Structure 1
Amino acid sequence: MTKHETPVAKNDTINVTFEDLTHDGAGVAKVNGYPIFVPRALPDEEAEIKIIKVKKNFAIGRLINVTKESSNRTKPPCPIFKRCGGCQLQHLSYEGQLEYKQKHVKDVLARIGGLPDVPVHETLGMEDPWRYRNKAQVPVGERGGHIIAGFYAERSHEIVDMPNCVIQHEENDKVVQLVKGLAKKYGIRAYDEKKHKGTLRHIVTRHGKTSGELMVVLVTRGKELPNKKNLVDDIRENLPHVTSIVQNINPKRTNVIFGEKTEVLWGEDVIYDSIGDIRFAISPRSFYQVNPSQTKVLYDKALEYADLSGSETVIDAYCGIGTISLFLAQKAKKVLGVEVVPEAIKDAKNNAKLNGLTNTDFVVGEAEKVMPWWSAQGVRPEVVVVDPPRKGCDEELLEAIVNMKPERVVYVSCNPATLARDLKYLDEHGYETKEVQPVDMFPQTTHVECVAQLVLKS
């Protein structure tokens, strides 16, 4: 084999043994050290596969026949699992999923972070890993003159019509099916993203786990929504728990779901939910974790790692609507939260008021710019908590943390790869990662949240 040849060619049918899973849940087999990625294959399985794509450094295959099954293989309960891009791991037993997530975190900490000796605990899972999502954001389309709604097929913008979803709360399923039927009844056309025509773009629904309250958001291309009053009346009649019906207008040619303008069609502009003892008001566009019972597990661990006695000042960078800040405020002397989204800060202030917490202060801005300003004002936090988006922390922010020298840093992460990168930076600048706790916020998918505890090296 010459330098540029690969050991397999497109359309080859070969027998392989799988040895691992990728970060997005595909099985990994190797031929002469050359990796082949095959969706829905599992480690220790032997299978016949067909090569469908060949690149210089890897190939992609399709499973034809599994000749030796993993003891962790299970039958997915969802009839559209193979077509829908919403879940990746329904074919893997739940115990297997938790082990896979722990191993994935360990691997990236060693490979990207250069931290092979940091203890990574067993993943904290759910007793019942189904029907946990309190929020659905479902794109709407048309096929053969019928309204369809569901998640996109993997790596595409093709909507897979979904009668129900086994990881969504049942109320969310009811909303999606009802709105689909009402759109047909009242002649409301689905949005066509190629032609930028039609009305209904997304059905978004939020359910309060502890309150039972329900919010329905209709995302439309323009202000026009045919038969608006009848539509609202029918939703209210069919959904006894609905407390908020909202229209969001998004006129842009974009993949972003929400537009800037939101109008309440009926009821309240927020719904309420609680995590532990803290109550939250949730508006249509506010970020709120989709799995409230596991969010409590995650935040309890963050609180444990913050190790608060009541005398500390805590900074919560990327504070959002104040979810973690308010948890911390129960045990800290003072919590300062910073977030770039103005609406989120407004929600955070309201949520602090809602819970009677007066030891918080929330400001709008970029954490990497606000923190040096706080530092110049003489703020010396004992603890800094970060919960960044998937891209992780900006280096400027990490630099600001290092300059402030808090005794402890608690890093909440939704992406193990960027967590590992940032822990490496902090390790090189005076912080030791004591331990990492993975938490399964999204069963049946490859996503895993983590909480890491870091302490200032003496």
Structure 2
Amino acid sequence: MGDEGEKEILEEYAYLDRGGFSSEKFKIELRGLPKFYGIAELKKLMNQKLSLNTSKIKRPKNGSHWLYACFQNDEDRNKAIEALNGFSWKGKTLIAEAAKPAPDPLVRKRKQEEEGIVQDKKKKEEVGPEQRIKDATTPYWNIPYEEQLKLKEKEIKQLLMKFDNERWKLDRDNRSSLEAKRKIYGGLSFELLPIEKSPITEGYRNKCEFTIGIDEETKLPTVGFRLGSYATGTVAVGPIQSLIHISDKTKKAVLIFQELVRRSELQPFSPADFSGHWRYLTVRHSMSTGEIMLIVAMHPQELSTEQKEQIQKELVEHLSNEESAACGIKSLYIEYITKRRVGDEATRPVHLWGSTHIVDTILGRHFRISPEAFFQINTAGADILYQRAIDMSQVKEDSTVVDICCGTGTIGLCFAKHCGQVLGLELVPEAVRDAKANAEANGITNCDLFAGRAEDILPSVLARATAEDVVAIVDPPRAGLHMRAVTQLRNTKKVKRLVYISCSPASAVKNFVDLSRPSSKTLRGAPFVPVRAVPVDMFPHTKHVELAILFEREEDPCEEPQDSDKMEVNECKDSSTDGTAVQENTDAEIEAKTSNAEEIGTESNTT
């Protein structure tokens, strides 16, 4: 290879020695993985059981039985290879070896364009930036809404059939029953209701995160969406004015902020060389009050304290004038974001001006929204989704509802008037503060909320249930529930029904399978059987759809013992962790596990 060729190759890997840490430097390839596993399970194996310091796991698009794991340095990478290579996990022998870093996508794309510049220009002429950004963010933008619903119904049914087939493989004893039900429900062993339409299909998003970059057409700093990913060699940003899922008020707020960025001496942040300052703008829009919250994210680089204070002053002056007030801007935050390493604390938004929260409404309940709070992005769609969850749950006046991953309490508080008690648990302490404030604002007194990981505090929270009829509501992040949380739900016999709400059903299938698989040494309680499912279109013009599934606990043969079966019954009690066993923990143990959450509830929100 000539000097020129070597120079080009070196250029593709120059980013490794540039400022900033890259996870590509210390990467391993892990192969031979089992057919069914979760990333959370794998992280637990690597970081807890084997004491490896994994910083990131990357699953390639074309591989389910292999992936990349990244580390902070050579020592950690070598330790991982030694521990994982030949390790037996779930009946499979793992293969681990060092992986080469990926070439810089931007450099590679530039070379490809230079080699085929005519074809590339022709492509760009055929598909302009406006259509590219529509295709990237709202791929169904040119499909009639009724056709969109049919496509989503079909996709959901195919996914649920895969889940149902997995149940059939695992549950040998009930195959004939499953096959009989499939004849009733058109190929599924449970009922799939027709998809619920979104009440509004345009301007429905109440939260958008925009990237600040350079528009490839105007070459000006622009607040919009990326036209592609860095991995595909694209860092250009396109304007969002033509997108139909974003509200007019949000678009106006973006343009007002963009004026400041364009006249600023500071440049947009560049992921290519880690230079620049302006990174993101998050807009939260209350659909009930019209209020708008802005969260501006910047990379501080080498800015002094005085320079930061000046930027913050300019932001307040620009976003608190009459034009901004007419747009509905009522709250302003700033967040300084740098690249984090494992163990580093996340940065937090700092309140600059206006209200600390905005307020929105679901099913007649008012909810305050903070910068980082989870809130369904389609407020009108959330009315439909939550009402369907209430209807499916068969909740009664004396039931206890356990809201797992409760966020700011939206689902649990909507359930509160239909049941005797609501217990909510959430990982993010700030969200719990919001949930407690929301309960108080709505005059709800039958709700207790706790902060902590579901897999850690679920048993002690469940022990507080006052009713015999306990219904669990699960609305986890996109990746689904941690396996330990699924195990706790399976092993707590008090939970009779479970409504699982997922914004990414494909990611949640493993949870569905584990909830319904036959009992085992780990999943000791009787399985939850899917009874009914309903898709709700929360994301018109996109491929995404929300799915709610009702699971009911199968009858456990150990539940109602006969006198002649005392020995067998005792064995059943010894091998399971039911609600009664959990309640036998001392009050001190329960208080210790949830005291942190209760302290959080008494603190004021200072952000």
Q: Give the equivalent residue in structure 2 for 1:371.
A: 458
Once the two structures are superposed, residues 56-75 of structure 1 have per-residue CA deviations (whole angstroms, 9 ceiling, x without a partner) of: xxxxxxxxxxxxxxxxxxxx
Listed one character per residue, the Cα deviations across residues 310-365 of structure 1 (whole Å, up to 9, x for unaligned) are 10111111111111111111211111111111111111111111111111111111
Pick from 552, 572, 580: which aligns with 1:455?
552
Pick the aligned partner of 2:324 from 239, 243, 247: 239
**Inter-partner Cα distance in structure 1 for 2:147 and 2:464:** 50
Distance 2:465 2:312 in 1: 54
Looking at structure 2, the residues matched to 128 and 197 of structure 1 have their Cα atoms a distance apart, in angstroms, of 40
In 2: Cα distance, 1:280 partner to 1:126 partner: 21
Distance (Å, rounded) in 2 between the aligned partners of 1:141 and 1:160: 5
Does 1:431 pair with 2:431? no
State the AA in 2 paired with 1:428: R
Structure-1 residue corresponding to 2:505: 416
Q: Report the equivalent of 1:87.
A: 138
Q: Which residue of 1 aligns with 2:399?
A: 312
Distance of 1:196 and 1:432 partners within structure 2: 50
Asked if structure 2 preserves the Cα contact closer than 8 Å seen for 1:315 and 1:381, the reply is no
- Note closer, same or farther for the CA distance 1:146–1:387 as it changes in structure 2 (3 Å cut): same
Q: Quote the Cα distance in structure 2 between the aligned partners of 1:145 and 1:259.
A: 32
> How far apart are residue 279 of structure 1 and its match?
0.5
Q: Does 1:347 align with 2:434?
A: yes
2:435 partner amino acid: A
* Offset at residue 225 of structure 1 (A): 6.2
Aligned 8 A contact 2:479 2:508 in 1:
no
Q: Deviations over 1:88-124 (max 9, x none)?
A: 2223221111111111111111113426332222211
* Structure 2 counterparts to residues 93-104 of structure 1, below 5 A: 93-104=144-155
Q: Does 1:147 align with 2:202?
A: no
Cα distance in 2 for residues equivalent to 1:136 and 1:374: 34
What is the distance in 2 between the residues matched to 1:230 and 1:413?
A: 41
Q: What does residue 78 of structure 2 align with?
A: none
CA contact (8 A) 1:139 1:150 kept: yes
2:268 match: 190
CA distance in structure 2 between the partners assigned to 1:204 and 1:145 by the alignment: 22
The answer as to whether partners of 1:102 and 1:120 remain within 8 angstroms in 2 is no
Deviation at 1:371, TM superposition (A): 1.8
Alignment of 1:5-84 (within 5 A): 79-81=130-132
- Aligned match for 1:120, one of 167, 179, 192: 192
Residue 407 (structure 1) aligned to one of 476, 496, 503: 496
Paired residue secondary structure (2:349): strand
Q: In the alignment, which residue of structure 2 is the partner of 1:385?
A: 473
Higher deviation after alignment, 422-431 or 344-353: 422-431
Give the whole-Å Cα distance in 2 for the aligned partners of 1:324 and 1:139: 30
Q: Which residues of 2 match residues 133-212 of structure 1 at below 5 A? A: 133-142=205-214, 146-156=220-230, 157-164=234-241, 165-212=243-290
Question: 1:35: which partner in 2?
Answer: none
Q: Compared with structure 1, are the counterparts of its residues 227 and 371 closer, same or farther at alpha carbon in structure 2 (3 Å cutoff)?
A: closer
The answer as to whether partners of 1:187 and 1:226 remain within 8 angstroms in 2 is: no
Offset of 1:249 from its aligned partner?
1.8
Cα displacement (A) at 1:155: 4.2
Task: Report Cα offsets for 1:31-60 as digits up to 9, x if no partner.
Answer: xxxxxxxxxxxxxxxxxxxxxxxxxxxxxx
Verify the 8 A CA contact 2:133 2:225 in the aligned structure 1: no
The offset of 1:280, in angstroms, is 0.7
Q: Comparing 440-449 with 137-146, which one deviates more in the overlay?
A: 137-146
**Cα distance in 1, alignment partners of residues 386 and 142 from structure 2:** 29
How far off its partner does 1:186 sit? 3.3
**Does 2:537 align with 1:440?**
yes
Task: Sort the Cα spacing of 1:376 and 1:326 in 2 relative to 1 into closer, same or farther, 3 A.
Answer: closer
Q: CA deviation at 1:145?
A: 5.6
Decide whether aligned partners of structure 1 residues 226 and 374 sit closer, same or farther in structure 2, where only a CA change above 3 A counts. closer
In 2, the alpha carbon distance for the partners of 1:227 and 1:342 equals: 29
Query: Do the aligned partners of residues 261 and 382 (structure 1) sit closer, same or farther apart at CA in structure 2, a change above 3 Å counting?
Result: closer
Distance across 2 between alignment mates of 1:268 and 1:227: 20
Q: How far, CA to CA, are the matches of 1:225 and 1:83 in structure 2?
A: 37
Tell me, which stretches of 5 or more residues in structure 1 are unaligned?
Answer: 1-75
Q: CA offset at residue 175 of structure 1? A: 1.3
Alignment-mate amino acid for residue 447 of structure 1: H
Give the whole-Å Cα distance in 2 for the aligned partners of 1:101 and 1:194: 37
**1-structure distance, mates of 2:515, 2:340:** 40
State which structure, 1 or 2, has the greater radius of gyration over its C-alpha atoms. 2
Answer whether contact 2:340 2:346 (CA < 8 A) is retained: no
Structure with the higher fraction of residues in strand conformation: 1
Alignment check: 8 A CA contact 2:214 2:236 kept: no
CA contact (8 A) 1:149 1:159 kept: no
Change (3 A) 1:226 1:186: farther
Change (3 A) 1:236 1:376: closer
- Would the aligned equivalents of 2:529 and 2:551 in 1 still touch at CA under 8 Å? yes
Which structure shows the higher helix fraction?
Answer: 2
TM-score normalised over the length of structure 2: 0.59
* Cα distance in 2, alignment partners of residues 377 and 322 from structure 1: 18
Structure 1: distance between partners of 2:346 and 2:256: 23
